[in-house]
Chains A and B, each alone.
Chain A
Amino acid sequence: MELPEELLCSKTHEFVYPENGNYVIGLTDYAVEQLGDIVFVELPSVDTEFQKGDVFGTVESVKAASEIYMPVGGKVVEINEQLIEQPELLNESPMDRAWLIKIEASSYAEDSQDLMEYDNYKDEVE
């Protein structure tokens, strides 16, 4: 799978990349691999505003519930409804079809400073 060129990752295993003026947020393949079979995804309502670092949703594996954090702040413009019905998509295609939310970023340049490029992120977590 080809990753978007400007994709960045957080230490808490979320990724973010720009798309048509907005930003796409999801969970890294490494995080999903660690969680195992995903059986439940809870996402926020459209128009909810979050700061960087806020909990914006939950994914649950068979074993446990895990919170997901905003890698950058902003307002939710779209959520991936398909994941509510098919949480297993996260296991199949975490960094592609199983994106979580799209946001209008509030201060991307500042918020993204401590994020890592994917290769560096992988080095850090593995």
Chain B
Amino acid sequence: MDKKTLIHDTQVKQGAKMVEFAGWEMPVQFSGIIDEHNTVRNALGLFDVSHMGEFFVSGKDSLNFLETLVPQQVSSLTDGKAVYCQLLNDKGGCVDDLIIYKLSDLNYLLIVNASGVEVDFNFIASRKGNFEVKLENKSDEYSLLALQGPKASDLIQDLGISKSEQPLSFYIKPAKLFGVDVLLSRTGYTGEDGFEIMMKNEHAVDFWNNLLKEGAKYGIKPIGLGARDTLRLEAAMPLYGNDLSNDISPVEAGLSWSIPKEKKENYTAKDIIFSQLQNGVKKKLIGLVMIDRAIARHEYEIYYNGKQIGHISSGCYSPTTAKNIAMGYIDTSYGLKVGDSVEVMVRNKLYKAEIVKRPFITKRNKV
């Protein structure tokens, strides 16, 4: 049977339509995907992302251990700083993508995808070796809410944390909201400014309802996974399982910005990653806007001059741009670049699409 977050029953009463996602029964929509999407872009939305995983890495060797797991330079993190990175397998493929938060010198928080909770934890544990670290999977103890949209900072200020005290983009800090101790981070998966709020499970339902009540003056709405997907795709953020997998390296996925070239420490598959950075890759992620009237979807084939050269990894109607957008992987040997045309096979017919720059919208999440 699918797992349920603590807020599940409340969400059903609030009109959520539920679907299965990564072993969880989660809300796919409340008022409607397009309405929810626009609410996050223009005002404020509240997501329950308690299905995601929370790991703690602590102890003497925390930093050295984490450096071996990800391409990012973990030692560059100051207290409270967060960084987006990937767990790599021995071939340089992505076991998962995640955010590492430095809470203090010997204490790090890792937030991973719901689909990765077991896989990632086992993977990380298997690499522990002789490092003196304590690994804890506390996913079942914590709930996670995401408050996203241009009014997020205003609402957090109303709740007693002034803008100057709020964490900046990609920072986390302990805070008290509604009298509850939480971890408040300036991160998200929408391309908008916003926060993620992590709390013990027993506070989740009250927290959810309180945020909806206090946010009412900004037009806050509960948001489902449907709009979460269209929001993240407009911002060209990868979805593990679609745009990232065990067979895709972060270099191929266009995530080279998250791989510091000067990192001295060794990490899994570093030689493969560096060789890809230096010599190029066989396939790479591109952004597409459909020119012809059709929607490209996950796994549809991409063609160039009558030959299949790749496939779509994610695609949808983009409410913000009113265009049909997609990301996909293509063979790099054709030398295709932004501005070039390809075709996408939709129901046995080819439809024209143009390679465009990512993201598809201007991100507004830099504070």
- Chain B interface residue count: which class? 10 to 19
Check if B33 sits within 8 Å of A65, measured CB to CB.
Answer: no
Tell me if B253 is interfacial: C-beta within 8 Å of chain A.
Answer: no
| Chain A residues, Cβ within 8 Å of B293 | 40, 84
| Chain B residues, Cβ within 8 Å of A58 | 347
Tell me if A37 is interfacial: C-beta within 8 Å of chain B.
Answer: yes
A65: which of B35, B226, B295, B319 is its contact (CB, 8 Å)? Answer: B295
Check if B297 sits within 8 Å of A62, measured CB to CB.
Answer: no
Residue of A nearest to B225 (CB): A63
B226: which of A40, A63, A84 is its contact (CB, 8 Å)? Answer: A63
B317: which of A42, A62, A84 is its contact (CB, 8 Å)? Answer: A62
Closest Cβ of chain A: how far from B223's Cβ, in Å? 13
Q: Which of B340-361 contact A (CB under 8 A)?
A: 347
> In the complex, A61 Cα to B319 Cα: how many Å?
12
Check if A65 sits within 8 Å of B230, measured CB to CB.
Answer: no
Q: Which of B31-45 contact A (CB under 8 A)?
A: 32-35
**Would you call the interface of chain B mostly helix, strand, loop, or mixed?**
mixed
Q: Say whether, besides A62-B316, A62-B317, A63-B226, A37 and B295 are in contact (CB < 8 Å).
A: no
Most chain A Cβ neighbours within 10 Å, of B28, B34, B347: B34
| Chain A residues, Cβ within 8 Å of B316 | 62-63
A60: which of B29, B35, B226, B295 is its contact (CB, 8 Å)? Answer: B295
> In the complex, A121 Cα to B141 Cα: how many Å?
45
> In the complex, A40 Cα to B294 Cα: how many Å?
8
A62: which of B17, B34, B294, B347 is its contact (CB, 8 Å)? Answer: B34
Check if B33 sits within 8 Å of A60, measured CB to CB.
Answer: no
| Chain A residues, Cβ within 8 Å of B33 | 36-37, 61-63
Tell me if A64 is interfacial: C-beta within 8 Å of chain B.
Answer: yes
Tell me if A83 is interfacial: C-beta within 8 Å of chain B.
Answer: no
Q: Which of B280-332 contact A (CB under 8 A)?
A: 293-295, 297, 316-317, 319, 324
Check if A65 sits within 8 Å of B297, measured CB to CB.
Answer: yes
Residue of B nearest to A34 (CB): B17
- Chain A interface residue count: which class? 10 to 19
| Chain B residues, Cβ within 8 Å of A62 | 33-34, 226, 230, 316-317, 319
Tell me if A103 is interfacial: C-beta within 8 Å of chain B.
Answer: no
| Chain A residues, Cβ within 8 Å of B295 | 39-40, 60, 65
Residue of B nearest to A88 (CB): B34
Check if A36 sits within 8 Å of B297, measured CB to CB.
Answer: no
Check if B29 sits within 8 Å of A39, measured CB to CB.
Answer: no
Indicate with 1 or 0, residue by residue over B230-263, a CB within 8 angstroms of chain A CB atoms. 1000000000000000000000000000000000
Indicate with 1 or 0, residue by residue over A27-70, a CB within 8 angstroms of chain B CB atoms. 00000000011011010000000000000001011111100000
> In the complex, A10 Cα to B17 Cα: how many Å?
24
> In the complex, A60 Cα to B293 Cα: how many Å?
12
> In the complex, A124 Cα to B245 Cα: how many Å?
41
A37: which of B17, B34, B324 is its contact (CB, 8 Å)? Answer: B34
Residue of B nearest to A87 (CB): B317
| Chain A residues, Cβ within 8 Å of B347 | 42, 58, 65
Closest Cβ of chain B: how far from A83's Cβ, in Å? 12
> In the complex, A39 Cα to B37 Cα: how many Å?
14
> In the complex, A58 Cα to B297 Cα: how many Å?
14
Closest Cβ of chain A: how far from B18's Cβ, in Å? 13
- Give me 12 A-to-B residue pairs in the complex whose CB atoms sit less than 8 angstroms apart, sorted by A's number: A36-B226, A37-B32, A37-B35, A40-B295, A42-B347, A60-B317, A62-B230, A62-B316, A63-B28, A63-B33, A65-B295, A84-B293
Additional A-B contact list (5), CB under 8 Å, known A39-B34, A62-B316, A62-B317: A40-B293, A60-B317, A62-B33, A63-B28, A63-B229
**Which 10 residue pairs spanning A and B have beta carbons closest together?**
A39-B317, A62-B33, A37-B34, A60-B295, A37-B33, A37-B32, A40-B295, A62-B317, A63-B226, A36-B33
